[in-house]
Amino acid sequence: MSLQAVANEADQVKPTIAYYFGNKAGLVSMIVKSLMSESTALAKASADDSPPSEARVLSYIDGIKQLSMHRDTTMEFLEILPWAARHEEMGPAMQNLYSWAGEYNAKAIANLADNVSADDLLPCGVLMAAVLDGLAIQKVVGVEDAVLDRAWEQWRKIVLLVGREHAEASRNRSEDGDGVSSGAEASGSAEASGSAEAPGSAEASGSD
């Protein structure tokens, strides 16, 4: 990829492209931001605003799947990725892209239940970004849709399994906390009761 190639594709002269983007790094950074914006729009369009539920998470995954089917978007990404990997100055932009993707996915998966933490699901969010990249590339090179559909179905099951495990762990922590709190309250009540009875007991003992 070169500024001249971009200029030719856009039917512009190279100095015009350089004026708006500065250099190739500036151009690639703008493309990365555009991809992030497009990905967000597609994912939001597929996700609903219903209360946290498994159906809401599955709706989000379906949106990610649709994104993987966008050949033009995948081709744009594949054009800039090799160049970005070879140029150190593009490291921060690509890191930001993947950090954003992982965090965004984790927040979406956390909609499985009220008690699920997005921070706990960050590894799953990072994996979802890798799944998107891998299956999108396979779509571009011609892997059969039936094979990719089965792969996405398997990923849906994995996400739900991980989400359920985190939801259950969160509930258990909450119940354990309530148990400790109840125990402390009971202990405090017993101590207060004992303190209240002490004077009366002393008087009864004295009257004898």
CA atoms within 13 Å, Cβ hemisphere of 40: 14
- Residue 60: inside a domain: yes
CATH number, residue 106? 1.10.357
CA nearest 102: which of 131, 76, 69, 81? 131
- Residue 112: inside a domain: yes
Structural domain of 79? 33-175
> Which amino acid type is present at position 139?
K
pTM: 0.67
Sign (positive or negative) of CA dihedral 28, 33, 34, 39? positive
- Cα–Cα distance, 204 to 208 (Å, whole number): 7
- Residue 69: inside a domain: yes
- Residue 199: inside a domain: no
CA nearest 132: which of 112, 110, 108? 108
* Helix 14-21 × helix 24-46 angle, to 10°: 70
- Residue 89: inside a domain: yes
Tell me phi and psi for residue 14, to 5 degrees. -55, -45
Q: How many domains does the chain contain in total?
A: 1
- Residue 198: inside a domain: no
pLDDT tens string for the chain (208 positions)? 443 444 344 444 344 444 444 455 566 666 666 666 666 665 555 555 667 888 888 988 988 898 888 888 788 778 777 777 777 777 787 888 888 889 989 988 998 888 888 999 999 999 999 999 999 999 999 999 999 999 999 999 999 999 999 989 888 888 876 555 555 555 555 555 554 454 444 444 454 4
- Residue 147: inside a domain: yes
- Residue 151: inside a domain: yes
- Cα–Cα distance, 159 to 172 (Å, whole number): 20
